[in-house]
Structure 1
């Protein structure tokens, strides 16, 4: 049940943003076993001065084309699933949109099942 926040600097086309969202959703479904149609995404652009990152942190050279992807999801994915997710997203963004792999920053935020309400004021994933 991931909630994706996707952030980038201003100036990308609607088609570019839509494709980024599609790539993230497909990898969530393929690798993290997110259910079909479990697509909740916020895609936002920011003025260059409001999109701050270190261009050389950990020896990875990032450009102004950097994209931040943060998923809040139910805990329990393996390290191998997480690594496969990171790789599929970076590879597909590169293949489909020519985004540099170095420019794909991904953060996973695991939470408990009882931390979700998808509506009606109910803990949706609690039996």
Structure 2
């Protein structure tokens, strides 16, 4: 998200939730592709972005997981939740009213 969406380094929140085997039901074939035991569901939340930028982000995440953790791309499922900036608040965050983005960020064209 920092590299592709240019989100500031200090504007990241991560929540990891690992489930025990048997507590997650994943069909062995989803969308026509076999899935393994390491299937990951990654949820992302950010302001509205162009489709091309989200596609670039998804590709970067899958590539990084494959390269750094050996996770096959068919075991990664991604979903992006886009919400307007007025739906977010954090003390100290300054939003540019003209763009709706943190003042340290450049709004996409």
TM-score by length of 2: 0.78
TM-score by length of 1: 0.68
Relative distance call for 1:49 and 1:111 in structure 2 (3 A) is same
Q: Which has the larger radius of gyration?
A: 2
Q: Does 1:37 align with 2:10?
A: yes
Structure 2: 5+ residue stretches without partners: 98-109
Q: Aligned pairs, how many?
A: 97
1:47 Cα shift?
Answer: 1.4
Summarize deviations over 1:18-64 as a string: whole Å, max 9, x none: xxxxxxxxxx0111221222111111111122223233121121101
**Structure with greater strand share of residues:** 1
**Structure with greater helix share of residues:** 1
- The question of whether the paired residues in 2 share the 8 Å contact of 1:116 and 1:125 is answered with no
Q: Which moved more, 1:65-74 or 1:46-55?
A: 46-55
1:124 Cα shift?
Answer: 6.0
Alpha-carbon separation, structure 2, partners of 1:66 and 1:60: 12
Matched residue, 1:52: 25
Structure 1: 5+ residue stretches without partners: 1-27
- Runs of 4+ displaced beyond 4 Å: none
